[in-house]
Amino acid sequence: METFIANVPSPVGPFGVEGTAEAITAIYLPNQRHRASTGTPPRAVARAAKQLEEYFKGTRRDFDVSLALVDATDFQHDVWDALTAIPYGEVRTYGDVAVSVDRPHASRAVGNANHANPWPVVVPCHRVVSSTGIGGYGGGDEVKRFLLDLEGVHY
């Protein structure tokens, strides 16, 4: 299956949307190496790129895109499902997410599952913070702060 990558500009650098006509396989953060494809993006990529642009403009709060099936553990899938339940403009701690997936002592594992999330922003791992501060983010603190500020989150 050949994938297509479309770049989406943001104030912190370009995000990449990778996928096929049917689904999104990955979202690349500005600090992750990705090369945009040439030509017309397939339907699912174009839809996700448009929705990311709207999100960065502040006119979109929720995403309606098809995500590709990925090889991951049941725990990772449970965490990613829990992330999609965190409303725009709100945050949860790693501990909160661990409790929500019935693994109350798995805060660190939640962080690892967040880091493995193939669709950042769309599956909002940036909305998970530490109990003592902003916490980590694969895209770096600047990108996480940008996303939280965009959503009006006070952390």
Q: Strand 24-28 and strand 92-93: pairing?
A: unpaired
Q: Write down the catalytic residue from 26, 125, 129, 148.
A: 125
**Distance between alpha carbon 58 and the CA centroid of its chain, in Å?**
16
Could you give the CA distance from residue 27 to residue 50 in angstroms, rounded to a whole number?
Answer: 13
In 3D space, the residue among 75, 69, 73, 63 whose CA is nearest the CA of residue 120 turns out to be 63
Buried b (16+ CB within 10 A) or exposed e, 113-125: bbeebbbbbbbbb
In 3D space, the residue among 82, 119, 77, 115 whose CA is nearest the CA of residue 97 turns out to be 82
Q: Are 49 and 55 in contact (CB under 8 A)?
A: no
Whether 125 is catalytic is yes
Q: Which residues are catalytic?
A: 125
